[in-house]
Amino acid sequence: MYPCVGQNRHMALRQALLGLLAGRPMSGYELTKVFDRSLREAWPASHSQIYPELARLQREGLIERTETGPRGRKTYATTPAGVEEVRRWLRTGEPDRALRNEAALQAFFLWLLPAEEARAWLRREAAHHRGKLAEYERQAEVAPTSGPARASRLVLEWGIRYERMLVEWAEWAEGELPSLRGGASAGAGRPPP
């Protein structure tokens, strides 16, 4: 009857918070900073999302308050149920792999620009990802070589390969540009001015 009763399908924010707190107890403020420093590229989240979610997690018994610091600072830690919930999430079926990629979308419509501007777009793209790549490579140099924190190195490597791939793609695509305005094959549409 009810295909999707009560439970939401997404909620990755909860598990991310639980996962971070499984590492060590933290306050909402600290979590916000960790999100912004380490998880921003994989799952951005701001304090206005984090604070209410922490309250919910506490109400559901997945985390608990440990101590109260100076200016109303509240430190949280995972309960055993909380850690179990992250594990359940990691074990259960496929993660949501839907992407929303504005740059790829723009590439799809590059044929609407005159060749000169399409080339400029690809060069901007390559430059951006070259910058990112350099940044990640610098981070990789100082990353720990073992222990749990090493998991973040796995994700960093993901980022490095991703950026490198995009630099190479943009360079390849620039070479392909001439074929875009070649013969009048399917799709048609007026050529750019």
State which of positions 74-113 bind DNA (CB under 7 A): 74, 98, 100
Candidate ranges 49-57, 58-66, 68-76, 171-179; the one touching a second copy (CB under 8 A): 171-179
Our CB check for a second copy shows the closer of 103 and 137 to be 103
Among 25, 34, 39, 47, binds DNA (CB under 7 A): 47
- Interface of this chain with a second copy, residues 17 to 36, rule: CB under 8 A: 19, 22-24
Minimum CB distance to DNA, residue 48 (Å): 3
- Interface of this chain with a second copy, residues 135 to 164, rule: CB under 8 A: 144-155, 157-158, 161-162
- Spatial distance between the Cα atoms of 46 and 29, rounded to a whole number of angstroms: 10
Among 23, 24, 36, 46, binds DNA (CB under 7 A): 46
The alpha-helical segments, DSSP class H, found in 46-184 are 47-59, 80-91, 102-108, 115-141, 150-180
Which of a second copy, DNA, none lies near 124, with the C-beta cut-off 5 to 8 A by kind?
a second copy
Three-class DSSP category at 1? coil
Minimum CB distance to a second copy, residue 72 (Å): 26
Per-residue exposure over 108-132, b if at least 16 CB sit within 10 Å of its own CB, e if not: eebeebeeeebeebbeebbeebbeb
For the record, the structure tokens of 92 come out as: 């259960």
The position carrying tokens 């790549």 is: 133
Candidate ranges 57-65, 68-76, 134-142, 182-190; the one touching a second copy (CB under 8 A): 182-190
Torsion, Cα of 51, 56, 59, 64 (10° steps): -50
Backbone angles phi, psi at 111, to 5 degrees: -65, -15
